[in-house]
Amino acid sequence: MALFTSLASAENRVRAKIADGTWINGHACLATLESGGNPVFAVRVQRKMSSASAGSRQNGGWIEITQDNVT
């Protein structure tokens, strides 16, 4: 896993995952801070609703992802 290297790479990931049906909605952002205070690129996404337990990856809710290979 690696952090997104640019806002464009984060946006490309959002578009690809929405197109393949993994994510319902999403956008790239520069809102997450590392422990050292340095900004990192991220995507805020909404996954499909699921009947799975409430603790299973927050299906249906908005989450922030900073790693370029997380689904």
**How does pLDDT run across 9-60, given as a tens digit for each residue?**
999 999 999 999 988 999 999 865 666 677 889 999 988 776 555 555 556 7
**Number of structural domains, the chain?**
1
- The DSSP symbol for 50 reads -
pTM for this model (two decimals): 0.75
Distance (Å, whole) CA 27 – CA 4: 13
Per-residue model confidence (pLDDT) at position 43: 94
48 lies in which domain range? 7-65
Per-residue model confidence (pLDDT) at position 15: 96
Per-residue model confidence (pLDDT) at position 53: 55
In a domain, 39, yes or no: yes
In a domain, 17, yes or no: yes
Per-residue model confidence (pLDDT) at position 70: 83
In a domain, 70, yes or no: no
Closest CA to 32 of 70, 66, 68: 66
